[in-house]
A and B are shown apart, each in its own frame.
Chain A
Amino acid sequence: MTNTEPTALTAEQTDHADRRQRGTHLPGDGHMWLMVLGDLIIFGGYFIVYMVQRAMAPAAYLQAQQHLSITIGVLNTVVLVTSSWFVAQAVRAAADADYERAVRLIYGGGACGVLFIGVKAYEWTMKITQGYTNSNEFFMFYYMLTGVHMFHVALGVLILGIVVRELRNPRRRRPSMVEQGATYWHMVDLLWLVIFGLLYVMR
């Protein structure tokens, strides 16, 4: 074999593979999942409040929704889903002890995250200059939901940076640490898919 072959698997990695095969492997750790499930419930609350408010004035909301650019919405969703693909593949690479590849993939995921923030900032700027401010109820929800979400994206990029730093240190790198960061990152993607459906697509 060539020298590109990943390094030998540690006991942790073999155990990890075994648990995955049996379907009992917790990706990351319990604390991260507690935080993720908590965040999902909090955002779920925001989504329900939005739906209740929308149900009181559906025509006004639908009319305001028409001022969002679906092309930008679709583009940014594809960017975020692609970032998740990079990060999910990085988890697999780390599980196989191919840390070089894992780092490259996380860079790809992080770059997509930064691109997402850039496109979102452009969209906000466009909407504000067109006069769609939070004096309109739909746009108030739009800025609130996408703003809180964007904060999560920025935090996610920071977490991916920490994962890269740990992966670069041969004594500290572990597959579970990559899973930890990835779990948070995919939560950000999951929440965006709901925001996209509720704000941009539903009628």
Chain B
Amino acid sequence: MTATAAQRPHESRAITYAWAVLCAITIGSWWLSPGHTTHTASPSVAITTAVVLLGFIKGRLVIRYFMAVNTAPRWLKLSTDAWLFALWAAVLAIYVH
């Protein structure tokens, strides 16, 4: 068995776990959303902060596992993390300002 074939089950499983977490967070977001017409939504710093944290986690799962950046050179890990962090930090900063 080659090194590649030996790695594949582990890598395929990691992709599937990432997918399951992404789906779980997405479905869980349904309850956070203001889009339920039965009541008038009120602003919520707690929910928005949760959205920012979950958005960061989801983005990182896509980048690290789907885009395979977890086995990529350091410059790519750093630049994608910088983008993710800058984006969500700015979103939260503008929201709470």
Contact A78 B72 (CB under 8 A): no
| Of B8, B27, B42, the contact of A95 (CB 8 Å cutoff) | B8
Residues on B with C-beta less than 8 A from A133 are: none
Quick check: A85 and B58 within 8 Å, CB to CB?
no
Q: How far is the CA of A42 from the CA of B52 in the complex (A)?
A: 19
Number of B interface residues at 8 Å Cβ cutoff, please give it. 58
Interface status of A154 (Cβ within 8 A of chain B): no
Interface of B is mostly: helix
B51 lies within 8 A of A201 (CB): yes
Interface bits A117-134 vs B (CB < 8 Å: 1, else 0): 000000000000000000
A interface residues, how many (CB within 8 angstroms):
67
Q: How far apart are the CA atoms of A55 and B96 in the complex, in Å? A: 9
Q: Do A203 and B41 form a contact, CB below 8 Å, given A186-B62, A193-B58, A193-B62?
A: yes
Do A194 and B83 touch across chains, with their CB atoms under 8 A apart? no
Give every chain B residue within 8 A of A187 (Cβ-Cβ). 67
Shortest CB–CB separation between residue A37 and chain B, in angstroms?
6
Are A41 and B83 within 8 A (Cβ)? yes
Q: A63 to B40, alpha carbons, bound, how many Å? A: 8
Contact of A81 among B19, B63, B94 (CB under 8 A): B19
**B32 touching A201, Cβ below 8 Å:** yes
